[in-house]
Amino acid sequence: MKKTSPSLRWVVLAALVLAPLVLPAFWLQNIFAKAAVFGIVALSLSFLNTYGGMVSMAQMAAAGLAAYAMAYTSINGSGLGVPLPWPLALLISLTVGTVFGALTGWIASRTRDVYLLMLTLAIGMGVFSFAQQNTELFNAFDGINGVAAPRLGHLSLNAPIPFYVLSVGLAWLLLVLVNHVVRTPFGLALQGLRDSDRRLAALGYRVTLHKVAAFALAGFMASVGGVLMLWYQGQIAPGSVGLAAATNILVIAVLGGLRRPAGAFAGALVFVLLQTFATDLFFRDRYNTLIGAVFLLVVLFLPSGVLGLTDLVSRLRRATRTRQAGEQSSSIP
């Protein structure tokens, strides 16, 4: 378990706080806030993998279900659902996602490694198929669109600066939560589970319960991301929970390095930057090739993800310092 150095954290924090004063709305909303939202969903995947040893491809499905629940209980342009006051709608959505997470964890409790990846992929695809076919709750192929974000007074939550503050703020909070949880007895048991669940069971821990709880927490985090995603897009459709969407979250988590939680956000930022500007820099529509190639390079050569580059820098610095010390000592007559 690695953590980003304290000085780096203060720099990042300062940059994020100052950003609304300096950057135009496009950057705040479509780059940083978007990266925060995807990062939150990727964080849930990263958390499960790093501390639980479980790669779940169902995180986007959890986020999507929460988004659908929120859209269903909000005023929308598809004429579907029952509008409720937004705090109640929010509670329902987060519950839906968390319960889905717990259910996924329960179904997956007997599988491990690549089988778990495939199982959660199947669950995600099952949710996608259902969403695409069902008209009563999901509005089938069309999805639910024209969803209005809640208003606080005369401030709409999906205006650039409020949305930026909300998403980046929540991202920070969830990161703090993850870092806290992994140091609690539950978190330690989870890591024990990652290393050897048979040993953990022998010690008297209830392995299945721990897995379900971990997945539930991941589901909760993904739900937060899902609701934010709904407010950002103003709509939710089956494509948002499909295979491509699930793969993107995996790509983001891997780009960020699966060894530290904050990596998810670094990965998300890289992803969003590539997605937004590749069309201008690279051949028009080939940004998938670009992202795929970057992903391959990271998997093959940078197991710590793009943040591994900072490790590279510090390693180089240490190497040069050692070399300089060596030279000095050898030059003493």
Partner 1 sequence: MTTRLLVNVALNGLTLAALYFIVASGFSIVFGLLRTVNMAHGALYLLGAYIGYDVAAAHGWWWGVLAAAIAVGLLGAAMQKWLLDRLQGQDLRQALVTIGLSIVLGDLLLARYGGLTYQFDPPDALYGSVRLPADLGGYPTFRLFLIGVALAVGLGLWLLMYRTRLGMAIRAGVDDRAMLSAMGFNVPRLFILVFALGAAMAGLAGVIGGSALSVAPGEDARYLMSSLVVVIVGGMGSLGGAALGALLVAYAEQIGLVLFPHYAILLTFVIMIAVLAVRPRGLLGRA
Partner 2 sequence: MFHKTPFSRSALAIAAISGALLATPAWAQVKVGVLATLEGPFASPGQDSVRGVQLALDDVKSSAGGKSITMIVEGTNAEPDVVVAKARKLVEQDKVDVIIGPLSGSEGIAIKNYSKSVPGVTFINGSSAAEDTTLRDPSPNFFRFMGDGTQWMAGLGRYAYDVKKYHRVAIVSEDYSFPYSQVNGFMQEFCARGGKVPAKLWVPLGTKDYSSVIAQLPSDVDAVFVVLGGSDAVTFMSQYNQTGGQAHMMGGSITVDQSVLSARGPFRKQIIGMLSSGPTADNNDAPEWKSFVAAYRKKFPDGLQSPSLFANNYYTATKAMTLALDQVHGDLSDHQAAFRKTLSNLTVKSPSGEVRLDGNRQGIVDVYLTEVDQNAQGQLFNKLVKVTKGVNQTLGQPREAYLAKGEAGRNYPSCP
Find where tokens 């929540």 sit.
Answer: 170
| 279 Cβ contact partners less than 8 Å away, ≥ 6 residues apart | 285, 287
Q: Residue 151 pairs with which residues in a beta bridge?
A: 156
Encode 152-188: b = buried (16+ Cβ within 10 Å), e = exposed: eeeeebbebebbbbbbbebbbebbebbeeebeeeebe
Q: Does 53 bind partner 2 (CB under 8 A)?
A: no
Q: How far is the CB of 69 from partner 1 (least distance, A)?
A: 19
Q: Residue 156 pairs with which residues in a beta bridge?
A: 151
Is 179 or 247 the residue whose CB approaches partner 1 more closely? 247
From the list 184, 210, 181, the residue with the least C-alpha distance to 195 is: 210
Contact call for residues 254 and 238 (beta carbons, < 8 A): no
Q: Does 136 bind partner 1 (CB under 8 A)?
A: no
Angle at which helices 243-255 and 287-301 pack, to 10 degrees? Answer: 40
Of 93-132, which residues contact partner 1 (CB under 8 A)? 107-108, 110-111, 113-115, 117-119, 121-123, 125-126, 129-130
322 makes contact, choosing from partner 1, partner 2, none, with CB < 5 to 8 Å by partner type, with: none
Q: Of the listed pieces 27-35, 92-100, 141-149, 296-304, which binds partner 1 according to CB under 8 A?
A: 296-304
Which residue in the set 2, 16, 20, 30 belongs to the binding site for partner 2 (CB under 8 A)? 30
Contact call for residues 58 and 123 (beta carbons, < 8 A): yes
5 makes contact, choosing from partner 1, partner 2, none, with CB < 5 to 8 Å by partner type, with: none
Of 42-81, which residues contact partner 1 (CB under 8 A)? 55
Which residue in the set 46, 120, 240, 248 belongs to the binding site for partner 2 (CB under 8 A)? 240
Contact call for residues 81 and 63 (beta carbons, < 8 A): no
Is 145 or 247 the residue whose CB approaches partner 2 more closely? 145
Angle at which helices 185-195 and 34-52 pack, to 10 degrees? Answer: 70
Q: Does 126 bind partner 2 (CB under 8 A)?
A: no
Q: Does 141 bind partner 1 (CB under 8 A)?
A: no
Which residue in the set 4, 145, 179, 310 belongs to the binding site for partner 2 (CB under 8 A)? 145
| 296 Cβ contact partners less than 8 Å away, ≥ 6 residues apart | none
| 40 Cβ contact partners less than 8 Å away, ≥ 6 residues apart | 167, 170, 171, 174, 221, 222, 224, 225, 228, 264
Angle at which helices 59-72 and 243-255 pack, to 10 degrees? Answer: 120
Distance CA 219, CA 236 (A): 18
Which residue in the set 103, 276, 310, 311 belongs to the binding site for partner 2 (CB under 8 A)? 276
Is 292 or 303 the residue whose CB approaches partner 2 more closely? 292
Q: How far is the CB of 138 from partner 1 (least distance, A)?
A: 12
Q: Does 74 bind partner 2 (CB under 8 A)?
A: no
235 makes contact, choosing from partner 1, partner 2, none, with CB < 5 to 8 Å by partner type, with: partner 2
Distance CA 325, CA 320 (A): 9
Give the binding site for partner 1 (CB under 8 A): 55, 107-108, 110-111, 113-115, 117-119, 121-123, 125-126, 129-130, 133-134, 243, 247, 250-251, 254, 285-286, 288-289, 291-293, 295-296, 299-300, 303
Give the binding site for partner 2 (CB under 8 A): 26, 29-30, 77-79, 132-133, 135, 140-143, 145-146, 233-240, 276, 285
